[in-house]
Amino acid sequence: MLRRYIITITVLLVAFGSTWAFSQKPKDESNSEHIYYIVKTQKGVDPEKLHDVFAPHILDEIKLVSGTTYRLKFREDPGIKELQRLIKQKGGLGIIEPDQKVLMTNPME
């Protein structure tokens, strides 16, 4: 009789725990969603100028890829159209595009 109660309680706890775990939605942490872009600057452009060019948006990381090409990590995605607008407005840069390699190799980052 005691064994039956233990089995019943165990089954109910497992069922309740599973239902609860699968019903949870992922946390909305917009700060943890970093968006990466590749930008190619003109020769002689200091990488610190990138902070000025994209001033309304927060750059978390600037990493030299090669030559005058940098990988940028934004705290929140401003969108490619907005970044292209800022480049045209402030100048000093060549092209910018989403870092497709990061998007393909690590979609959960």
The enclosing domain of 71 has a CATH number of: 3.30.70.260
pLDDT in tens, 73-105: 988 888 888 888 888 887 767 777 777 664 444
Per the structure, the complete domain to which residue 52 belongs is given by: 30-105
Contact predicate 72/37, CB 8 Å: yes
Burial of 66 from C-beta contacts in 10 A (0-12 / 13-18 / 19+): exposed
Query: Which sign, positive or negative, has the C-alpha torsion 81, 49, 40, 101?
Result: negative
Overall domain count for the chain: 1
Residue 73: inside a domain, yes or no? yes
Residue 4: inside a domain, yes or no? no
Among residues 60, 54, 62, 97, the alpha carbon closest in space to that of 75 is found at 60
Task: Round to whole Å and give the CA distance between 52 and 1.
Answer: 74
Contact predicate 41/94, CB 8 Å: yes
Residue 23: inside a domain, yes or no? no
Residue 3: inside a domain, yes or no? no
Residue 99: inside a domain, yes or no? yes
Task: Round to whole Å and give the CA distance between 57 and 91.
Answer: 16
pLDDT in tens, 3-45: 888 989 888 888 877 777 777 665 544 444 567 899 888 887 7
Residue 70: inside a domain, yes or no? yes
